[in-house]
Structure 1
């Protein structure tokens, strides 16, 4: 539907988004490993680290030779594996654009906990929707969905540059593309429960992210930020009147 390109919300409480950068680095390194490894190693990693509902809910047993971490740990480990470069790139781009401001609002350690809880919730809802599924769930989409939901509640009026329909760059208030994206996840969960994309993981992350940001944000950090920030890519014409931020 859209690709986020840039927002202009300045960091207020932290100087560098260390956790966001660290998560991106770990995901990239994990993908590089799978990119250069043999197909057998990739399959082993997907089965041993991916979230398999049938194994979690005792509909099936994973071959002991494929086990890498305890079953319960796959609620987290699945979120650091990706199918291909574009799967990785899309998730990491969303995290890069929106993660720093959520990390700023929560703090470094709370953001890390927030991210992992959203990932776990995404896996849980995926398992609830398809408890007997034997294919491994991989990808950071559940966690990223939680980040998007938190950003939506924190900065709905901030303008974000997005690539609409993958070709038209537009600066839009964040609530327009994000609300449409969030609604799409719920609609697709209802219409495409057996599809390749795990809409359940997305919905689980969204609900969890929206709830957690209410209780995990720093004291004094408001929801529905009233300040309207003009993207840095928009340069006022010489002599034009100064832009006045709206507040109430």
Structure 2
């Protein structure tokens, strides 16, 4: 299932969210098509991705930042940017541009530390904005638990969009990360589940001062956990294809 949009419009232009998306895409295109081979890209990830064993040895501290802007493929990139696009604008709107950038980077740092704690001797480079974006999801869940999110469900050839409260969408996502992290060996490579968990928890914690400043539980009581302004409405547009009337065959009972 894929969240494609929320019903929570923002009041200001999300410059930082858009800048982060542009940077991630531009950096990905530069090395994905510039290096020319999988081997070169692998060496690039070892240099600029976060390798826990390397950090434990006292080297490569800059990769805490650089690893947040690298992705292992098109689906990795597009999935992360979709989540950032859907949920980032509201967090930036509430926090302001500068604080949101600090929040994003702080959640990404916490995510990297969580993954390192899970396997500090790992030689697998961690890349991706997933941990920082998980922090955005955690903060969004705290501030707007009942904001509706349109989710695209795809099951073989069946697909349909359902509006679902954010607390269900994000709660299920977080539960899946916890379950997968607990059942997947940390040295198996692939998805850094504990980075997702760490980023999400950090996002809730880093957003909590904002939550208190805007009224805490009283904010929920005023808005009922939904956006504090009229939510966006997406009316279904009618199809432009002409409708063909169904022909009715005459039977022996027709006059």
In the superposition, the TM-score normalised over structure 1's length comes to: 0.83
Q: Select 1:126's aligned residue among 115, 126, 130.
A: 115
Check if 1:80 corresponds to 2:69: yes
SS of alignment partner, residue 71 of structure 1: coil
Distance in 2 between the 1:144 and 1:88 partners? 12
Check if 1:201 corresponds to 2:195: yes
Check if 1:10 corresponds to 2:9: yes
Q: Select 1:107's aligned residue among 96, 101, 106.
A: 96
SS of alignment partner, residue 138 of structure 1: coil
Return structure 1 stretches of 4+ with deviation > 3 angstroms. 216-219, 221-225, 227-231
Pairwise CA distance, 1:24: 0.3
Check if 1:52 corresponds to 2:44: no
Q: Would the aligned equivalents of 1:105 and 1:217 in 2 still touch at CA under 8 Å?
A: no
Distance in 1 between the 2:232 and 2:109 partners? 33
Q: Would the aligned equivalents of 1:3 and 1:163 in 2 still touch at CA under 8 Å?
A: yes
Q: Which has the larger radius of gyration?
A: 2
Q: Would the aligned equivalents of 2:142 and 2:211 in 1 still touch at CA under 8 Å?
A: no
Q: Would the aligned equivalents of 1:142 and 1:205 in 2 still touch at CA under 8 Å?
A: yes
Pairwise CA distance, 1:41: 4.1
Distance in 2 between the 1:22 and 1:234 partners? 29
SS of alignment partner, residue 28 of structure 1: helix
Structure 1: unaligned runs, 5 residues or longer: 62-69, 236-248
In the superposition, the TM-score normalised over structure 2's length comes to: 0.81
Distance in 1 between the 2:160 and 2:212 partners? 36
- Which moved further from structure 2: 44-53 or 129-138? 44-53
**Matching residue of 2:249:** none
Alignment RMSD: 2.0
Deviations 1:67-99 (CA, angstroms, capped at 9, x unpaired): xxx611211210100011110000000000000
CA gap 1:168/1:193 in 2 versus in 1, 3 angstroms: farther
Q: Count matched residues.
A: 222
